[in-house]
Amino acid sequence: MPRVIVDLSGPFLYSSRVRATAVLFVACAAMLSGVAAPASEIVTFPSGSLMLHGVLFKPQGTGPFPAVVYNHGSAAGMLSQEAFDALGPVFVRQHWILFGPYRRGQGLSAEAGGYIGDEIDAAKKQGGAAAGAAKMVQLLETDHLDDQLAALEWLRKQPFVDQRRIAVAGNSFGGIETILGAEREGYCAAIDSAGGAESWALAPALQDRMKRAVQHAKAPIFFFQAENDWNLSPSQVLSAVMKAAGKPFEVKIYPPFGRSRQEGHSFGYFGSAVWEDDVFRFLNRHCVAP
């Protein structure tokens, strides 16, 4: 069975029951709309000296379409593809492009660098939990942020993309990346699902870094989680920081998703039947067509 590390501790696997529910929902929505679920296209883009790969889901037609850079979590191997396959059709039926770049060491970009979970584990073994947390923050705000911004640069150059309507989103580690990206770049909006939820209590350095990022965010942020996620403090604390800073935001805690904290943590990937209307209302409000 493939190993998956989410944040700092514990194995996490997308439950087969949750995956099956998500797949069924996407298939039913496609049947009701009379449109086949879209296939993804594999693309290649540079990040410094590295060549990385990602998956692109695009509506039919020439566009230009609004687009989202969707940051995956910490799943090893190709498990993030299951999340992209669940999310891609949701964005496409809303007439949005979803670009899922694989950062170095994961998925289609596994050969481009070390796996972040292994690097965090090595730091923990050498210096304990604090060292693991420090390594996590270091990698997410340097190499992995570089990869996200390289994906954004590639997306901006595509003729089918509306350059003025590019948003960022992500779940878990990808939610952390979303916050860091919103601090650095002028995305039209950001969607943070469960960013840092499992690491929050164990990593004060992560808390400080995410607070600093939202204080300087260049985009409005929608924070959301399922009630049975590992820890609701990220959404609650970060939204309060944005409120104090006078930054635009929304926050919503949804009812429990699935039967465990692990399944609750996957809500951003597989719970679109619940959050779709809220997310696209937020995106379409802040990423306004000219």
Q: pLDDT for 32-44, tens place per residue?
A: 444 455 678 999 9
Q: List pLDDT tens digits, range 173-220.
A: 999 999 999 999 999 999 999 999 999 998 999 999 999 999 999 999
Provide the 3-class DSSP secondary structure of residue 82.
Answer: helix
Q: Is pLDDT above 90 for 256?
A: yes
Q: Alpha carbon 265 to chain centroid distance?
A: 12
Nearest C-alpha neighbor of 30 from the set 83, 112, 100, 86 = 86
Distance CA 186, CA 165 (A): 10
* DSSP string for 123-184: HHHHH-HHHHHHHHHHHHHTHHHHHHHHHHHHHHT-TTEEEEEEEEEEETHHHHHHHHHHHH
Q: Sheet holding 65-71: strands in order across?
A: 41-47, 50-57, 97-101, 65-71, 161-171, 190-193, 221-226, 249-254
Contacts (Cβ under 8 Å, ≥6 apart) of 74: 4, 5, 6, 7, 106, 116, 117, 172, 173
Which of these, 115, 221, 241, 215, lies nearest to 169 by C-alpha position?
Answer: 221
> Could you tell me which residues come within 8 angstroms of residue 59 by beta carbon, excluding any fewer than 6 positions away?
38, 65, 92, 95, 96, 97
pLDDT tens digits along 111-141: 999 999 999 999 999 999 999 999 999 999 9
For the cut 70, the answer to whether the pLDDT of residue 21 exceeds it is no
Q: What pLDDT, on the 0 to 100 scale, is given for residue 26?
A: 39
Tokens for 105? Answer: 């060491």
Q: Which residues contact 93 (CB under 8 A, 6 or more apart)?
A: 29, 30, 33, 35
The model carries a pTM of 0.88
- Both tokens of 83, joined, read 């999340």
Distance, in Å, from the CA atom of 12 to the CA atom of 97, rounded to the nearest integer, reads 28
CB 72 within 8 A of CB 98: no
Structure tokens belonging to residue 68: 């989202």
Please report the pLDDT score of residue 76 as a whole number. 84
Strand bridging mode 249-254 / 41-47: unpaired
